[in-house]
Amino acid sequence: MDIFDILNSRLLYILVAIGLLIIFLICLMFFMRAKKRAKELGIEDEKVKATIKSSLIFSIVPSIAVIIGLITLTPLLGIPWPWFRLSVVGSLPYELTAADLAVKGLGYADLASYQGSADISAIGTIMFTMTIAILGGMIFNIFFLEKYHKKVSGVGAKQSPFRELALSVLTFGMVTVFFPVEFLKSKTHAAVAITSILVTIILGKISKKYEVSWLSDFIMSFALIIGMAAGVFFEGVL
């Protein structure tokens, strides 16, 4: 039996569909409660409808990043599992990192090496790692989010240079950890990274200079799409 016989099995599709249905029902419940609350507050129906319409429109382009993530993960982990992960709480960088660390812990060089092994016993370990490693944030939110949010809101209300410095240091730290690893893998990786950076900088400047406020929300999506296209191009050139 091949690993993709399990990763693309009918049973996994059914289980994922059930999970996504539950998430959809939860979203629907919050939507109905929000609509009811808006009526209690005396907000006009036209404003509510306009808000719903604008939210639907502006959610389309950010969803492209999720679709691209699904396309990226499908050759590695099949369709249903990435579909479930990216639809609920996952993100592409996290899912790839978690899956890669799982197979490395099992003795494989990377995900590509694991695919060639046909080791179906490792699938459960990969799924468990991808799931359990992200639970820390959710557990923290259950017990501490309210207090944490109040403190952060209080700091945000004050004009403090420490807040901006802390956010900058956090972002810089994440970049310095992940970026060099990918950049140094090959010429193609380096070229794609540079292309994505240039796209991000250029679109950011366009957004500020010409006051195109909506563009700033979609910079990541454009950087992902152009970066992937650049990867295909540079793979054939370099």
pLDDT of residue 127: 92
Residue 116 has pLDDT above 80, yes or no: no
Give the pLDDT band of residue 31 (cuts 50, 70, 90): very high
Answer with the residue of higher pLDDT: 61 or 133: 133
Give the pLDDT band of residue 160 (cuts 50, 70, 90): low
Query: Do 119 and 3 meet the contact criterion of CB atoms below 8 Å apart?
Result: yes
pLDDT of residue 159: 62
Mean pLDDT of 151-174: 72
pLDDT of residue 156: 55
CA distances from 31 to 36, 56, 57 (A): 9, 13, 16
Task: Kindly report, residue by residue over 38-90, the tens digit of the pLDDT.
Answer: 999 999 989 988 888 878 777 776 677 788 788 888 888 999 999 999 888 76
Percent of the chain whose pLDDT exceeds 70: 92
Residue 125 has pLDDT above 80, yes or no: yes
Q: What is the 3-state secondary structure (H, E, C) of the chain?
A: CCHHHHHCCHHHHHHHHHHHHHHHHHHHHHHHHHHHHHHHCCCCHHHHHHHHHHHHHHCHHHHHHHHHHHHHHHHHHCCHHHHHHHHHCCCHHHHHHHHHHHHHHCCCCCHHHHHCCCCHHHHHHHHHHHHHCCHHHHHHHHHHHHHHHHHHHHHHHCCCHHHHHHHHHHHHHHHHHHHHHHHCCCHHHHHHHHHHHHHHHHHHHHHHHCCCHHHHHHHHHHHHHHHHHHHHHHHHHC
Task: Kindly report, residue by residue over 201-232, the tens digit of the pLDDT.
Answer: 999 999 999 888 778 767 877 888 898 899 99
pLDDT of residue 175: 80
Answer with the residue of higher pLDDT: 153 or 76: 76
Give the pLDDT band of residue 170 (cuts 50, 70, 90): confident
pLDDT of residue 56: 78
* Sign of the alpha-carbon dihedral angle for 35, 36, 38, 44: positive
What is the rounded average pLDDT for all residues in the chain?
A: 86
Give the pLDDT band of residue 168 (cuts 50, 70, 90): confident
Answer with the residue of higher pLDDT: 119 or 89: 119
Instruction: Choose the weakest-confidence range: 6-10, 57-61, 69-73, 144-148.
Output: 57-61
Residue 128 has which token pair? 């468990």
